[in-house]
Each structure stands twice: as C-alpha cells, then as structure tokens.
Chains A and B, each alone.
Chain A
Amino acid sequence: MVSKKIVLHFPNKLVDQPIVYKLVKDYNLKFNILKASITPKEEGLLVLELNGEEKDYKQGVNYLKESGVKVQPLSRDVVRNEAKCTHCGVCVPICPTAALVVDPLTRKVNFYNDKCIACELCIKACPVRAMEVHF
C-alpha cells in the first residue's frame, strides 16, 4: 500500500470531467481532498492524498497525465526570501489557501509554510520575486 500527497492542475477544458471518479473506479485508489480551488486562470487546483496499491497508484498517475492534468508531488518547496519581501500584500488575495496573510497589528505579510500547496501562483505575482521555488 502507498499513501501519497499530490497537487493536480486541471486545465480549463478538464475542469468539468469526472477524472477523480475514474481514479476510484478504474484504479481502485482511495482519495482524500486536502484542498480544492479554481485559480485566476480558471484552472482547477486539487490537492489529494491517494491511497492504494503501488501499481495502481502509478497507473492512476499515468492516466492523469495522459488526460492532460499536470501532476506534482506535494512538497513544501515554495519559500519566501525574507530579505527580499517588502510586505506589500499583492500576493495575499492571489494565494488560494491563505498561506499569505496580513498581520493586522504589524501590517506585515506572514507566510504560513504549512498551508502552502506550492501552486506557484504567488511566484510571478510578487513584484520583487521574493517567493521562490526550491527543487
């Protein structure tokens, strides 16, 4: 048995397809939805925890990729370069999971790493490139 957390990016055209349903039916995988949202570009963003046999998991992920879904492992690889951040707040309404929020007292923008799903939407939204992807 394996249990893995992955981030799925659904392009616009796939948003209304029964893809996750197929994962259950055809590949015998159990899932937990950790996060789901529609991004500014109207793409679907889904963070899943998948449970099942190793073989089924691999085939399931292949099926996702072939259908045009971008699959990424959920690893906490988006970090903030603290020296660069000016605490402007442009990223705050962009972040789909409230990992970037304004502290009402200090007016600084806090980054909650544990809420971040590495969707990377903040990377280009940040004017001073303070949000960095680390591989």
Chain B
Amino acid sequence: MAKTIKEINEKIKKGKAVVVTAEEIIDIVDKKGLAKAAEEVDVVTTATFGPMCSSGAYINVGHTKPKIKIGGGKATLNDVPVYAGFAAVDIYLGATALPDEDPRNKLYPGDFEYGGGHVIEDLVAGKDVKLVASAYGTDCYPRKKLETWVNIKDLNEAVLFNPRNVYQNYNVAVNLSDRVIYTYMGTLKPHLGNANYCSAGQLSPLLNDPYYKTIGIGTRIFLGGGIGYVAWHGTQHNPTVKRKESGVTQAPAGTLAVIGDLKQMKPEWLRGATFHGYGVTLTVGIGIPIPILNEQICKYTAIKDEDIWTQIIDYSENYPQGKGSSLGEVNYAQLKSGHIKVQDKDVPTGGISSYSKAVEIANTLKTWIKKGDFLLTEPVASLPGEESGYTFKPLKERPLDK
C-alpha cells in the first residue's frame, strides 16, 4: 500500500509516525518481511559524519561606519583568508583555507594546525573571531581598513553552504609504495600497511536511496545539528557509475550540495579537522530522512553493509596520477571487521567517517520527527539520475600558447 509524503506528515503532526534508523530497518524487514515493514514504517533516518572538504559558509558581517567595501579587497577571519569577491560586506569562508603564514608542506608533512574548518567550528561554538579587512576605498565606501572581533550572534547572515557533501559510497585507500604517504584519507603506511575507508555504509544517505527517488532538491535535512536543505546535486555528481543488482553504486557516485543556517548549528556536529601532510577540512554531520512511500523504497533502505561494495584504490600512484584501476572490491562488513585482504595480504582497516556519530545523528533526527518538530518535504526537483547520462569528467587541458 503506497503512502504519500503528505500522509506521513499528517502522522508526524499527530505524533503517530513510525520512525526508525537505517540500521533498525534491516532487522524489521528481516523479521516482518518487506510488505509489512513498508506498511508499518513511515520514515527511515540515514546519516553520515565525515570530513567534507567542499564545505564553507557565507557571511554578511554588517556595515561599518564609515562604510567599507571588502568586495574586491581582502579579508581574513582568525588570519584565515576568506573569499571577498562579492558585495561590500559579504564574504565566503572555505573549509580548506589556510593562514598565509602557515608553512603548509614546506615542512613535510605539514601540521596544518588551524584553517577554515576550525574557524567555522569556533564561530558555531560562539567564540569571538578576529576579522581583518582591507579595501581600496570608493566615494560610497571610503574606509580602507577594518580590524574587529565578530561573533556569530551579531552577524546578519551566517549560512553553511557546501557545494559537495554526502558522497554516495567512497574509495578504500591503500599505499602500494615503500614510503609512508599523507592523504585526505589519512596516513597510509607503506606496503599495504593499512586500508582506510570513508562511508557510513548501511547508514549513509545516498546508499539508502540509490536512485534518488526521495532525496532531491529542497529535501529538508539535519545539517550540523540544525536544519538544512538539499540545494542542488553536489559537484562531481556521478550517477552513472556501475551498480550492483540492488542499485547500490560500487564506487563514489552521487553527491549533494547542502545549505542551512549556521546560527542554529552545533560545534559537535561541525568539527574542524586536520589531515597530517594534507590540510584542513570540516567534519560535517548530516542526517536525511527517507519517507517509506512504497515497498521498493523500503527495500532500498534495508541495504546491509555486506551488500555494499566499493573499490580499493592505491593512493601512492593510481589516485594521484589519475590512472590505473581498482585493486579489488570489498564490502563494508569486511571493512568494519578490522581487516581486509588485498593482494593476498591481511591489511588492517581504519575509518575516516565516524559510524557511532552517524548512529547518534540518525537517532537525533528520529527523535525530532517523532516529536513532530521536523516535517518531511517533497523534493522541488529531482537530482540527475542514472538515465540522465550525467558524468564526472576530467579536465581537458589545452596549452595556452595556441
């Protein structure tokens, strides 16, 4: 028996909706069967808590007296440069930005103690942040220098806007070389010393809605402890990668661009993070509800770790050079067991995304919905799906002297 989002919202308002996490639905479907589960359960909550480099926040700091046009000038927050190519007092703070004086990888492997991700965490934590700006001065915006403390509560707008989050599946990173390498997938020991993975697997949003049947533009989500929305498909969205029979992609595929009011968010769900020798990023907590509209959707959400497969990629040569192929396929149950086999070697695994935090987010979102605080939305438009032919292309370089 099919349901509509409207009917589910009516139940949520009455406090009668049955809401379970993407982990709990697995057992329910096992015990009660698909038909009964789909009938009884109204919403399945999914979540992820992992580093997402394509994150950032735009901010309107308010006008000074006399006025300054930071746009076209320069600005920093806690010495971290922000993008100042907008109107007078709009800036964009990116998660991977670093202070000019950070030695980066000159002292290899770089420490990257503080950057954009940390500024976002400090802002959200309610700490005062130092704003320094310089401008060229105009007749209408005469001021040329600004140095002040700012606090999130005084900013006009502070909006988290992440061009790419919530990857549908991700690579497992290994190192075939004979030296240690420092990557965004963590420190990788030589000769297959470890294998790092980065997905919540059976709890991950787009792995539970592999064909984007319910998650679309306008979907209301848990974002960094507050409420956000899916704004668009994310950059590098790649729905056409190969899939298993279940529909689940076997490699990184779909992505989401997300947006939400930073002022409502919590520092525990937006954490600045450092990858030794790589740089700074932001760990973002995201939870997405999936309305159980029919049996097929219910079946997608009951996907188990052992049925989600991904590719093992060498990050010493294949990944940086953009060539070569997968060293093999593993599933998330194998990855979470602590060891996988790669080229006949027993390799210990490490996570990058926190599964226990993802469980916490899925449970929080479940509570919000059960209490009637969070209603579901109909997507305004769908994300480009497999049939769209949409793909993720490499850059075709063209020499400048032609």
What residues make up the interface of A, taking CB atoms closer than 8 Å to B? 40-42, 86-94, 102, 106-108, 124-125, 127-129
Contact = CB atoms under 8 A, between A and B. Distances in A.
B363 to A, nearest CB: 13
A127 B180 CA distance: 17
A92 B186 CA distance: 11
A107 B187 contact: no
Contact of A40 (B49, B111, B187, B348): B187
B356 A129 contact: no
A8 B3 CA distance: 66
Contact of A90 (B272, B281, B351, B355): B351
B304 interface: no
Interface string B269-305: 0011111100001010000000000000000000000
Task: Name the 3 nearest CB pairs between A and B, nearest first.
Answer: A89-B351, A93-B194, A127-B273
Contacts of A102: 336, 338, 351
Contacts of B316: none
B171 interface: no
Interface in B174-195: 180, 186-187, 189-190, 193-195
A89 B350 CA distance: 5
B54 to A, nearest CB: 17
A101 to B, nearest CB: 8
B187 A87 contact: no
Contact of B193 (A40, A87, A88): A40
A122 to B, nearest CB: 10
Contacts of B250: none
Given A40-B190, A94-B187, A86 B350 contact: no
18 contacts: A40-B180, A40-B190, A86-B49, A86-B283, A87-B356, A88-B357, A89-B350, A89-B354, A90-B187, A90-B196, A92-B348, A93-B196, A94-B187, A107-B359, A108-B356, A127-B51, A127-B274, A127-B352
B283 A128 contact: yes
Contacts of B272: 128
B189 A40 contact: yes
Contact of B187 (A42, A89, A125): A125
A85 to B, nearest CB: 9
A124 B111 contact: yes
Contact of A88 (B180, B281, B338, B351): B351
Nearest to B180: A40
A102 B355 CA distance: 11
Nearest to B285: A86
Contacts of A91: 350
B283 A93 contact: no
A15 to B, nearest CB: 14
